[in-house]
Amino acid sequence: MKHLFVTAACAAALLSGCASGSKDNANPFLSEYTTPFQVPPFDKIQMEHYKPAFLQGMEEQAKEIEAIVNNPEEATFENTIVALDQSGRLLSKVSSVFSGLNSANTNDEMQALSRELSPLLSKHSDDINMNAKLFERVKAVYNQRETLGLDKEQAKLLEETYKDFERNGANLDAESQAKLRELNSEISMLQLTFGQNMLAETNAYTLWVQDEKDLAGLPANLIASAAEAAKGSGKEIGWVFTLHNPSIMPFLQYADNRDLREQIFKAYINRGNNGNENDNNEVVRKLVKARLEKAKLMGYEDYASMALDTRMAKTSEAVYNLLDQVWEPAIAKAKEELADIQAEIKKDGKNFTAEGWDWRYYADRAKRAKFSMDENEIRPYLQLENVRNGMFHLANKLYGVTFTALENMPLPHPEAEVFECKDKDGTHLGVLYLDYFPRASKRGGAWCGGYRSQTYKDGKRVAPVVTIVCNFTKPSANQPALLTADEAETMFHEFGHALHSLFRDVHYYGISGVPRDFVELPSQINEHWVFEPEMLKQYAKHYQTGEVMPTELVEKLDKSGKYGQGFATVEYVAASLLDMDFHVLREIPEDLDVMKFEEETLGKRGLLKQIPSRYRTTYFNHTMGGGYTAGYYSYMWAEVLDADAYEAFKETGDIFHPEVADKFRKYVLTPGGIDDAMDMYKNFRGKEPGIEPLLKNRGLK
């Protein structure tokens, strides 16, 4: 049920792009797609199609719910639970396309209609969740669950459906339900506003360099990209650098001009905190207050307790316990790295104390000094197309699946590519879109989403349509897209999510998902293979000569791989702690200063001034935009799992061991949410994981 209609919690994500318009008889959403593999006909979908499809989708689902409620027959698993799970297909159909395109290619019209539809969709969701007669039928089936002879999948759907109603206010009295509706609508709109403000802030800033001497230290590919960015922004001379990661991060790492590093760094960490029309301070204050009110209304002491109730961690104490175990060794390692940075500053004959805009620059120099390692040596071997083929090779090696490029297909954006995934026996598993490069209409970061979820219809498997969206270094006039080591890992990471979607085989929407702190296991385990020598031989080939990455460079890459983990771990854990600290609050002062709160809550733990939280509060979209609310810790929680899971391959002496891969696919990637998450892991591994492999992998022990 929760996967078919827009809940208040995810309205912002699903509502970030439509446009109003009159009803169109040719609206592609209102008929079966006739495209290959029935992918969305992106070339036919116009702005005016979204709103009518949303409105009709809500109307159709309301009628379907009414039919369930008014069914004169006794409530059964089929006529109530399955009927509810299968309701809202049109709404799901338009929501998935709308959500995906808004995140990857938004515009002003889409964002305006997002705001128009947000309260309508919130109300629609609440009308279902708080339908007393519908809940009576669900409860009637639930109360008979022991005598219905349900299989494991059916039993799980029944359990989750009943719990969804409880979690969404079905047991509240009328007054409390009315208040919950208000809060859901408010939270939805605030999350939507936060994300739109963040995108506007990211796009608003550019650093325009006009003097060539200010480019000192920058690699040629970044200079070429900046020159093209300048032309693209209408400037006849100079170079333009932006706050998108492929631009700002290498600038901070390589630019000799310290003043310019400071300018762009401060612009980056102050997004949403500039006192302008896109300022997110008040949005955050209202949002955490509304979330706390909702949690208390639902009988919880704080919002984190409510959010964690359905996750592996279960309690705030369990989350803090994990983060604290990693925090102390990470801070210690970061202080060692800071000493290296200060030593590099001294080598320049200077004695200033390093600041945040110095860290990447001098840490890179320290890494080169320690390991004779320049990351620019690696990039020529990481041509985007080769990295993509490498991840396809890994999937084939582990699971026997193949990916074949498709031609003459509708694309969500002209830059996207599309592939068919086939299983080892040649059967169709699904379709995968890849969209690599940043643009002003695309939100930052990288993610894996879907334009259609896997399910069953008339007894036949409906294959998923999956998309991976990234913000990687673009090709320039002189060379193809050459990835950084981090970007290569990111591609493999998101591909792990894609495999999870492609391999999933469940019959009901309501059990297709897994807990937030388990969902990163399939993605993060995929990162372990990226720089294994056996993998590098397959795909790490010089873009000009075709030469495989030399053994000497592979060894340097391996030896230097753990350097910098102090910084990386501290900035991540800081963000995780910040997310939790906001959501364990049990009182929200009316005058809450969110940036002061951030400073105090991280300062008391000894966060180094040179390392800001990976996401500061006013641009922390993972938590304030919804999705990872009281859940950003999930990457670390899942890392405990993935580090331990990869040991299962290494213990065999074969990192591609087919039997281990088959078990991982069977017990982790295929079942959706049919089993308890820890049971899924133990079914694969035979035991619960320990934290030791994680600390070892990060070089913290």
Residues with a catalytic annotation lie at 494
- Residue in 497, 412, 512, 499 with CA at minimum distance from that of residue 453: 512
* Residue 191 contacts residue 183 (beta carbons within 8 Å): no
Residue 232: name the closest of 256, 206, 197 by CA. Answer: 206
Following CA atoms 330, 333, 335, 337 in sequence, which dihedral angle do they give, to the nearest 10 degrees? Answer: -130
Within 10 angstroms of residue 152's Cβ, the number of other Cβ atoms is 11
Measured distance CA(164)–CA(113) in Å, rounded: 28
Q: How far from 68 is each of 88, 456, 457, 503, 511, CA to CA, in Å?
A: 13, 20, 19, 32, 20
CA distance linking residue 494 with residue 488, whole number of Å = 10
How is residue 211 written in tokens? 């003097």
Dihedrals phi, psi of 448, to nearest 5 degrees: -120, 130
Give the three-state DSSP class for 457: strand
**DSSP of 242-298:** ESSHHHHHHHHHH---HHHHHHHHHHHHTTT-SSSTT--HHHHHHHHHHHHHHHHHT
Dihedral over Cα of 291, 295, 297, 301: its sign: negative
* Contact call for residues 99 and 16 (beta carbons, < 8 A): yes
Cβ atoms of 247 and 241 within 8 Å: the answer is: yes
Instruction: Give the phi and the psi of residue 174 in degrees, each rounded to 5.
Output: -60, -40
The residue type found at 291 is: R
> Token pair of 519, please?
């969902």
The rounded distance, in Å, linking the Cα atoms of 422 and 584 is 45
Kindly state the helix (H) or strand (E) to which residue 660 belongs, with its residue range.
helix 658-664
Q: Is 471 within 8 Å of 438 (Cβ atoms)? A: yes
CB 129 within 8 A of CB 164: yes
HSE (side-chain half, CA atoms, 13 Å) at 102: 28
CA of residue 344 relative to chain centroid, distance: 36
SS3 labels along 462-528: ECCEEEEECCCCCCCCCCCCECCHHHHHHHHHHHHHHHHHHHCCCCCHHHCCCCCCCCCHHHHHHHC
